[in-house]
Amino acid sequence: MIRKKAIAIAEKHIEFDDRIISANGFISRDLFSISDAKPTFYMIGSMGLASSIGLGVALKNPGRRIFVFDGDGNILMNLGSLTTIGSLKPKNLIHVVFDNSVHESTGSQPTNTNFVSIEKIAKACNYNYTFTIRTENNFEKILRKIKKLKGPIMIVVKIQQSNEESSGRVNYEPVEMKDRFMSHNL
Amino acid sequence: MKEVIQRKIFDYLLKNKIYNFVGVPDSTMKHFIDQGLKRNKILIATREDEAIGIAAGMSLFLEVSEEKMLRSNSLVFMQNAGFANSISTITSLVQLYQIPMIFLIGWRGFLEDDAPEHTKIGKIQPKLLNALSLQSMILGEKDWKKSCDSALKLIREGKSCALIIPREFID
């Protein structure tokens, strides 16, 4: 599965009442190019903090499902976040890590997920449910299944690099994008 | 700073609609943090940039107060060593997206004979704040309320700022 396909599958299973916090780099660009229909906080910069922003949003909006779209390089920068999430245990947080084991946007240098399992770390950090997904069918199945489960939930989606041209940048100004995201919370 | 003043500062900020207190502990402000823990209002993060990320997420929420919608304003507390760790997060999240918050910073290296690891950062801290265009107010035992009021005014206007507690003793 390539990232763009994986993100398209995840996006399809997200409802308008849910919220997405999308990590900087190709993840946000792919999501934006696939669909901008669901209320999304697209990050540019502050690499590593998607799960922290997601935690803050989740704590304040206990009635909504909050999806964090993260990358392996991103979460490896902020592993402490897993312990904070696992301590506070927000039931509504779904942490999806698109894991290609490289820093793709900087030239595909390897990351440590070649050797260490993020899923196992999340499990050790008290996430209620953790999954590692390798196929599209399985990803669809898990996304349906988690509707009945209490978080925090981690889904590691193993993806391959693709030769496709990368998606364009998110074309909102950051402040405009934030105001738009906040207006959905009214 | 005296214990009683630190506790008063926490209660004052809470009363004045700072909704979220997130950070990494610093002994210079331990009574402030303890007051917040007693009131079940403190969230402890593992690193200061993580704390800022959590606070930013919380501040994307709107609170209802006296039938008005208010941004859920946050304070992030840290030692100045952690402030140095947070600069990229301040520029590329807090300032880029204009998510205002108050930084409460413990000023180690304020006294020249503080421990050696604090000397350099203590010296350049005012310049760093200035380079980031962050207005900062020092919390004194007598005029702490005035500094808090300035910070509250700035955050209501949508501007981030810093409240500074100097480390006035050597342990």
Question: Can you give the CATH number for the domain in which B152 is found?
Answer: 3.40.50.970
Q: Is residue B75 part of a domain?
A: yes
Average pLDDT over residues A82-104: 96
Query: What distance in Å separates the CA atoms of residue A66 and residue A38, rounded to the nearest whole number?
Result: 11
**Which site among B40, B43, B60 would you substitute to test the A interface, given the most A Cβ atoms closer than 10 Å to its Cβ?**
B60
Q: How many domains does chain B have?
A: 1
Query: What distance in Å separates the CA atoms of residue A115 and residue A32, rounded to the nearest whole number?
Result: 31
Chain A residues touching residue B91 (CB < 8 angstroms):
45
B72 touches chain A (CB under 8 A): yes
Q: Is residue B7 part of a domain?
A: yes
Provide the 3-class DSSP secondary structure of residue B73: coil
B4 touches chain A (CB under 8 A): no
Q: Report the percent of chain A where pLDDT is more than 70.
A: 99
Query: What distance in Å separates the CA atoms of residue B111 and residue B117, rounded to the nearest whole number?
Result: 12
Q: What per-residue confidence (pLDDT) applies to A161?
A: 84
Q: What per-residue confidence (pLDDT) applies to A186?
A: 61
Q: Report the percent of chain A where pLDDT is more than 90.
A: 88
Q: What per-residue confidence (pLDDT) applies to B68?
A: 85
Q: Is residue B171 part of a domain?
A: no
Instruction: Single out the residue of A109, A29, A101, A34 nearest to residue A71, CA to CA.
Output: A101
Query: What distance in Å separates the CA atoms of residue A81 and residue A76, rounded to the nearest whole number?
Result: 10
Nearest to B61 among A48, A83, A185 (CB): A185
Determine whether the interchain pair B96/A174 forms a contact, defined as Cβ–Cβ distance below 8 Å: yes
DSSP state of B168: -
Contacts of B17 (CB under 8 A, 6+ apart): B63, B65, B70, B73
Average pLDDT for chain A: 94
Chain A residues touching residue B20 (CB < 8 angstroms):
56
Average pLDDT over residues A110-129: 97
Q: At A185, is the pLDDT very low, low, confident or very high (cuts 50, 70, 90)?
A: low
Whether B101 and B76 have beta carbons less than 8 Å apart is answered as yes
Q: Give B19-61 pLDDT, tens digit per residue.
A: 999 999 999 999 999 999 999 999 999 999 999 999 999 999 9
The more confidently predicted of residues A186 and B166 is: B166
Q: At B69, is the pLDDT very low, low, confident or very high (cuts 50, 70, 90)?
A: confident
Chain B residues touching residue A54 (CB < 8 angstroms):
57
Please give the single-letter amino acid code of residue B35. Answer: Q
How far, CA to CA in Å, does A72 sit from each of A43, A50, A69, A110, B59?
A: 15, 12, 10, 10, 26
Q: Give B144-159 pLDDT, tens digit per residue.
A: 999 999 999 999 999 9
Average pLDDT over residues A127-154: 97
Query: What distance in Å separates the CA atoms of residue B33 and residue B30, rounded to the nearest whole number?
Result: 5
Q: Is residue B13 part of a domain?
A: yes
The alpha carbon of residue A143 is apart from the nearest alpha carbon of chain B, in Å, by 24
Strands B20-23 and B74-79, by their bridges, are: parallel
Min mean pLDDT across A24-28, A48-52, B40-44, B157-161 is at A24-28
Helix (H) or strand (E) holding B136: strand B135-138
Listed by start position, the domains of chain A span 3-183
Average pLDDT over residues A108-133: 96
Query: What distance in Å separates the CA atoms of residue B155 and residue A157, rounded to the nearest whole number?
Result: 40
Q: Is residue B122 part of a domain?
A: yes
Q: What per-residue confidence (pLDDT) applies to A165?
A: 80
The more confidently predicted of residues A164 and A91 is: A91
Instruction: Single out the residue of B113, B9, B109, B149 nearest to residue B1, CA to CA.
Output: B9
Query: What distance in Å separates the CA atoms of residue A20 and residue A37, rounded to the nearest whole number?
Result: 11
Average pLDDT over residues B56-77: 92
Q: Give B88-140 pLDDT, tens digit per residue.
A: 999 999 999 999 999 999 999 988 888 888 989 999 999 999 999 999 999 99
Q: What per-residue confidence (pLDDT) applies to A110?
A: 94
Is B67 buried (19+), middle (13-18) or exposed (0-12) by CB count in 10 A? exposed
Q: Is residue B85 part of a domain?
A: yes
**Tokens 């999308």 identify what position?**
A22
pLDDT at A104 over 90: no
Whether A30 and A5 have beta carbons less than 8 Å apart is answered as no
Q: What per-residue confidence (pLDDT) applies to A113?
A: 94
**Tokens 């009635």 identify what position?**
A63
pLDDT at B15 over 90: yes
* CATH of segment(s) A3-183: 3.40.50.970
Q: Which domain holds residue B53?
A: 3-166
Whether A158 and A131 have beta carbons less than 8 Å apart is answered as no
